[in-house]
Amino acid sequence: MSGDIFAQVNLSRVYRRRKWVNNFILGLTGLTVILAIIPLIWIIVYVIIKGWRVINLDFFIHLPTAMGVPGGGVTNAIQGSIVMVIVASIIAIPIALLIAFYLLYYPQTKLGLSIKFSTDLLSGVPSIVIGIFGYALFVVPVKHYSAWAGGLVLAMIMLPVVVRSSEEMLKLVPKELREGSLALGAPEWKTSFSVILVAALEGVITGIMLGLARAIGETAPLLFTALGNEHYDVFSYIKQGIETNQSFWDILHKILSEPTDALPLTLWKYAQQPYPERVEQSWGVALVLMLLVLLLNIGSRSWLAWRRRQTHG
Amino acid sequence: MNQLLTQKIEVRNLSVFYKSFRAINDVTMPVYENRITAIIGPSGCGKSTLLRSLNRMNDLVPGSRAEGEIILDSENLIDPGIDVVDVRRRVGMVFQRPNPFPMSVYDNVAYGPKLYGIKKRSVLDDIVEDSLRGAALWDEVKDKLKQSGMALSGGQQQRLCIARATAIQPEVLLMDEPASALDPVATLRIEELVAQLKQQYTIVIVTHNMQQAARVSDYTAFMMMNERRAGELVEFSETTVLFTTPKDKRTEDYITGRFG
Amino acid sequence: MNNQRSLFPQRSNLRRQWSRYTNHGDRFWRGALFVSSLLILVLVLMIGWEVWVNSAPSRHAFGWEFISPWAQAVWNPALDRFNAWPSIYGSLITSFIALLLAVPFSVAVAIFLAELAPPTLRTPLNYMVEMLAAVPSVVYGLWGIYVFLPEIVHPIGVAVQDTLGIIPGFSIFFGGPIPASGISKLAAALILTIMVTPTIAAVTRDVFLAIPRSQREASLALGATHWETIWKVLIPMGLSGILGAVILGFGRAIGETMAVTMVIGNTSGGDYSILKPGYTMASIIANEFAEAVSELHSSALIEIALVLFVVTIILNAISRWLVMSVHRKTMGR
């Protein structure tokens, strides 16, 4: 038996040093967290202070006016964002859910693993590359920029986000639920929709909100697909269409085929213009954008957590 | 048989709380030096909580609090001024599921001593060998010291954990159901090892297996949950006495299997 | 027995056959799942294919010299001469600096979030990290131009140019003066640091959380301090995951477009100094594509997109593999 190993070591001095190091370093990590939060608070505060001044009813209702003319707004951007996000959702959400179910059923197959892999790869592709892809596929063949092209690239951006979160949520549903339904003779698709999806619904909705938050904030892919349009106004298209007796599909076609603006696009344009009024307005756009994105992001998560606490007590 | 019997640890009026819930109520019991003290009782009676109080591992649970005294060598371990790191060196622990680090066998055992500044290779080599011998594992791993500790069998991993715990020369060794995750053969080897270890260490072992307690320990403490779901010490005596002529009816019911 | 009317009426024969054929609709269902899943695979391949094909004119004109640092590093749309090195350099240097600063920082944040944060602070802090990641890139850019650059980047740049910038060997990289507006590669690097931190911190935090509690208990029971446990047990165990987080962050930094393009200046100075404006691969595409002057110009930009595509795919694959390996390690032998 070796003699007392601690005879060679001054225990109390060792202890004190170790404890000091421990407290110092752990305190440091707390400091880094504070430092990390500072930019967030700074941005939020700045955006609120500078953007608040610009927000009024005109901001939401009117199209941009020429420089120096008061009363301009960014309704083109707001409407454009809404239209494109709707297009993106209609395409991305059903496909994402189908993919999520596929990954639920066949997680370990070759195809299943490649799908999971592709989803991750897709989420890592820079959005500007997706924009170039959208340009080549949706703009060049028809020789003009359009809202539907923007919507499609946003769908590609939304897709991996919704797939990943939906898959997680579906996996959480206990398999006894699925087995019970199948044992009653229900076909797989009915089980998926009426049982699994319903059980995972809140989580899936949260995932969709996160995808929307992502899509609303994207600029790069829209640069070459939607391009921007200071005169984009859905309401006027509808009005025009009714006045000239156009069909529903014609009006819809017009809404989707015009180039369009979006909140982040407008922000990008205005922020770099030499006119102070435009820069001011860009802060207002930033405020709207931040509110939307943060509400969707944090709001959906807290709602989910709240619902979970409710059902599990 | 009866050398000088000293109390290594004296637990006095110990109560443990998780926030406002009282998990252990007013336990007083001795832990005799170089003896094996077993703590038995039905699930949820607070055995593990009591054990973990002895090396302040309960601190890891947020909101936990202890009242009373745990006297080790005339120091109260619950006293806020006490150095928890020092407590844990002197009171070691082996867990229910073996939890070797994902390092080599050698590094697992050397982990503790290195913390205390022991760097010389020859000293560490000696410590590792002694500890592994003391845990009845040396012969099986002496050629495999560089292999990962996680590559050993369950029983070997547990003995590795015992070696790791003894490497820093604790005074007391706490064992939380050390064999419950092992097969019967490995269990037996652990029990033999524990019986040997008492020559050097004071051992407190929690077990849900009454026969194991009867086989291995010198003293036994029987705990039960009271109506308010707090754990209480029902009876404490020499093992042979407790199992043949228990004083409390509840002890008798438990031992004869009428419940629990 | 036979005269008892069943509660469940018989289906007509035709109906039964149809149900059998489609397996009660599951044939279509399975088909839909299969097609959708294939879609995503095809999508990724198609993106790669499109950038490959559309960059052909540029690839044929310049070959490997396109990315070479030693060929004439000139990006001149007017003369149809394109070498991507200035933008590649810009991407590399800004991402590298961003990672250098962000990694220790993010790991520290992750340690706090995973190990030290009291339960009441845990959720709000995690939400704040999510918020940092959720802020749109253009908003970072706007704040960057009008707030961050004048108040933080410019002073730092001045400090750098006066210290590192006058040392003979270093003046290539740190030579000033930084423009009054603060527009520089340094600005891009610093904004990237902020933007990349939540990604690395969140993944690293999850790596720590995946390590089973028993490891911490074993170390603490031996009398180790909390930091010693983190440094000697948790970090080594999670190392490949942390590496994966870093690589993921690197991929994000390289692909980040809007904030970078708003603060980096987009002039092809070819200057190596971080205090001067420059390009990154993403920013040059964003800046020039809509107004490309010739087909070769567009094609060159698409070739840069090709480089971006390939690089991020590789980084992502490596990162994923690394993070997965930690999970395999902690789940068993």
Residues C116 and C240 in one domain: yes
Q: Does B85 touch chain A (CB under 8 A)?
A: yes
Cα A297 to its chain centre, rounded Å, is 8
When CB atoms are compared, the residue of B85, B86, B118 closest to A5 is B118
Hey, what are C123's tokens?
């959720």
Secondary element (H or E) of residue A48: helix A11-52
Exposed / middle / buried, residue A33 (Cβ in 10 Å: 0-12, 13-18, 19+): buried
Residues C40 and C175 in one domain: no
- How does pLDDT run across C206-265, given as a tens digit for each residue? 999 989 999 999 999 998 999 999 999 999 998 988 999 999 999 999 999 999 999 998
* Three-state secondary-structure class, residue C117: coil
Secondary element (H or E) of residue B36: strand B36-40
* Mean pLDDT in residue range B114-131: 89
- How does pLDDT run across B153-208, given as a tens digit for each residue? 989 999 999 999 999 889 999 999 998 888 999 999 999 999 999 899 999 999 98
pLDDT band at B119 (very low <50, low <70, confident <90, very high): confident
Angle CA(A103)–CA(A106)–CA(A111) in degrees, nearest 5? 85
Residue the block writes with tokens 């879609």: C39
Residue C281 lies in a domain: yes
- How does pLDDT run across B205-226, given as a tens digit for each residue? 999 888 899 999 999 999 999 8
pLDDT band at A92 (very low <50, low <70, confident <90, very high): very high
Q: Which residues, in sequence order, are CB contacts of C10 under 8 Å at separation 6+?
A: none
Hey, what are A45's tokens?
């505060």
| Residue A107: predicted pLDDT | 82
What pairing do the DSSP bridges indicate for beta strands B21-32 and B75-76? unpaired
| Residue A1: predicted pLDDT | 37
Pick the more confident residue, C29 or A211. A211
Cα C88 to its chain centre, rounded Å, is 16
Q: Looking at this protein, which amino acid is placed at residue C106?
A: S
- How does pLDDT run across C104-160, given as a tens digit for each residue? 999 999 999 999 888 888 989 999 998 999 999 999 999 999 999 999 998 898 888
Cα A47 to its chain centre, rounded Å, is 19
Q: Which residues, in sequence order, are CB contacts of A58 under 8 Å at separation 6+?
A: A71, A72, A73
Best to test chain A binding among B122, B124, B169, B196 (most A CBs inside 10 Å): B169
Residues C172 and C273 in one domain: yes
Q: Which CATH number among 3.40.50.300, 3.30.360.10, 2.40.30.10, 1.10.10.10 corresponds to the domain B7-255? A: 3.40.50.300
Residue C150 lies in a domain: yes
| Residue A183: predicted pLDDT | 76
CB-based contact B116 A19, cutoff 8 Å: no
Residue C3 lies in a domain: no
Mean pLDDT of chain A: 87
* Mean pLDDT in residue range B10-31: 92
Please answer whether residues C135 and A293 qualify as being in contact, where contact means their C-beta atoms are separated by less than 8 angstroms: yes
CB-based contact C320 A120, cutoff 8 Å: yes
Please answer whether residues B158 and B95 qualify as being in contact, where contact means their C-beta atoms are separated by less than 8 angstroms: no
Using the predicted structure, report yes or no on whether residue A10 has a pLDDT greater than 70.
no
Q: Rg (Cα) of chain A, in Å, rounded?
A: 26
- How does pLDDT run across C297-333, given as a tens digit for each residue? 888 899 999 999 999 999 999 988 888 877 776 654 3
Mean pLDDT of chain B: 90
Specify which of B40-44, B57-61, B69-73, C192-196 reaches the highest per-range mean pLDDT. Answer: C192-196
| Residue C149: predicted pLDDT | 92
Q: How far is it, in rounded angstroms, from Cα C106 to Cα B37?
A: 47
pLDDT band at C26 (very low <50, low <70, confident <90, very high): confident
Residue C61 lies in a domain: no
> Strand (E) positions, chain C?
75-76, 81-82
Using the predicted structure, report yes or no on whether residue A2 has a pLDDT greater than 50.
no
Q: Does B127 touch chain A (CB under 8 A)?
A: yes
Distance from CA of C170 to the nearest CA of A (A): 29
Query: How many domains does the structure of chain C reveal?
Result: 2
* Three-state secondary-structure class, residue B24: strand
pLDDT band at A156 (very low <50, low <70, confident <90, very high): very high
CATH of the domain at C231: 1.10.3720.10
| Residue A292: predicted pLDDT | 92
Using the predicted structure, report yes or no on whether residue C101 has a pLDDT greater than 80.
yes
pLDDT band at B3 (very low <50, low <70, confident <90, very high): low
Residue the block writes with tokens 């009317």: C5
In what side-by-side order are the strands of the sheet with B202-206?
B75-76, B64-72, B7-18, B21-32, B231-238, B219-225, B36-40, B202-206, B172-176, B91-94
* Mean pLDDT in residue range A131-146: 91
* Mean pLDDT in residue range C155-181: 82
Largest separation between any pair of C-alpha atoms in chain B: 57
What phi, psi does B203 have (nearest 5°)?
-120, 135
When CB atoms are compared, the residue of A1, A5, A15 closest to B123 is A5
- How does pLDDT run across B232-248, given as a tens digit for each residue? 999 999 999 999 999 99
CATH topology assigned to domain A57-312: MetI-like fold (1.10.3720)
Please answer whether residues B172 and B202 qualify as being in contact, where contact means their C-beta atoms are separated by less than 8 angstroms: yes
| Residue C1: predicted pLDDT | 41
* Mean pLDDT in residue range A238-254: 84
Q: Which domain holds residue C170?
A: 67-331
Secondary element (H or E) of residue B23: strand B21-32
Q: Which residues, in sequence order, are CB contacts of C165 under 8 Å at separation 6+?
A: C171, C174, C175, C176, C273, C275
Q: How many CB pairs under 8 A join A and C?
A: 248
Tell me which residue of A224, A112, A135, A125 sits closest to C45, measured CA to CA. A125
Q: How far is it, in rounded angstroms, from Cα A227 to Cα A221?
A: 9
Q: How far is it, in rounded angstroms, from Cα A125 to Cα C316?
A: 9
Hey, what are A256's tokens?
């989707």
Residue the block writes with tokens 């060049």: A140
When CB atoms are compared, the residue of C138, C257, C302 closest to A267 is C138
* Mean pLDDT in residue range A110-138: 91
* Mean pLDDT in residue range C39-57: 91
Residues C153 and C280 in one domain: yes
Q: Does A7 touch chain B (CB under 8 A)?
A: no
Pick the more confident residue, C328 or A290. A290
Please answer whether residues C322 and C244 qualify as being in contact, where contact means their C-beta atoms are separated by less than 8 angstroms: yes
CB-based contact B85 C233, cutoff 8 Å: no
Q: Does B88 touch chain C (CB under 8 A)?
A: yes
Using the predicted structure, report yes or no on whether residue C171 has a pLDDT greater than 90.
no
List CB contacts (< 8 A) between C134 and chain A.
213, 217, 293-294, 297-298
Identify the DSSP state of C9.
P
Q: Which residue of A has its CA nearest to C265?
A: A272
Q: Does C120 touch chain B (CB under 8 A)?
A: no
Helix C235-255 to helix C295-331 angle, to the nearest 10 degrees? 170
The rounded percent of chain B whose pLDDT value lies above 90 is: 57
Q: How far is CA B155 from CA B149, B160, B186, C26, in A?
A: 12, 9, 5, 50
* Mean pLDDT in residue range A193-209: 87
Q: How far is it, in rounded angstroms, from Cα C108 to Cα C157?
A: 26
What phi, psi does A16 have (nearest 5°)?
-60, -40
Hey, what are C229's tokens?
């446990």
Please answer whether residues C75 and A162 qualify as being in contact, where contact means their C-beta atoms are separated by less than 8 angstroms: no
Residue C18 lies in a domain: yes
Q: Looking at this protein, which amino acid is placed at residue C56?
A: A
| Residue A96: predicted pLDDT | 94
| Residue A180: predicted pLDDT | 76
| Residue B181: predicted pLDDT | 86
| Residue B2: predicted pLDDT | 55
